[in-house]
């Protein structure tokens, strides 16, 4: 999983997954409250055809895990 580091760059992080409905996954270990998780591919094109450094991010909410 890619998580934004303290310098604003994506960094690889190992996580432990829990329950899943094959669409959403519970992260039970490896994330902290307030972590910013990169979603999508780093090289995923945008609607305008550009290639952003980060296509999407999701803020973590919860102590030690989230969905």
Distance of alpha carbon 14 from alpha carbon 48, whole angstroms: 32
What does the pLDDT look like over 5-46, one tens digit per residue? 999 999 999 999 999 999 999 999 999 999 999 887 666 665
Where is pLDDT greater, at 44 or 59? 44
pLDDT at 48 over 70: no
Spatial contact of 26 and 67, defined as CB atoms under 8 Å apart: yes
Per-residue pLDDT, 30: 95
DSSP 52: -
All structural domains of the chain with their residue ranges = 2-59
Task: Work out the pLDDT band at 64, boundaries 50, 70, 90.
Answer: very low
Please state, in angstroms and rounded to a whole number, the distance separating the CA atoms of residues 7 and 9. 6
């Amino acid at each position: 999983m890619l998580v934004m580091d303290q310098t604003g760059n994506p960094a690889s992080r190992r996580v432990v997954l829990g329950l899943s409905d094959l669409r959403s996954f519970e992260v039970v270990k490896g994330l902290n409250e307030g972590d910013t998780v990169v979603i999508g591919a780093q090289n995923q094109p945008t609607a305008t055809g550009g290639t952003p450094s980060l296509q999407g991010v999701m803020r973590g909410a919860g102590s030690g895990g989230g969905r």
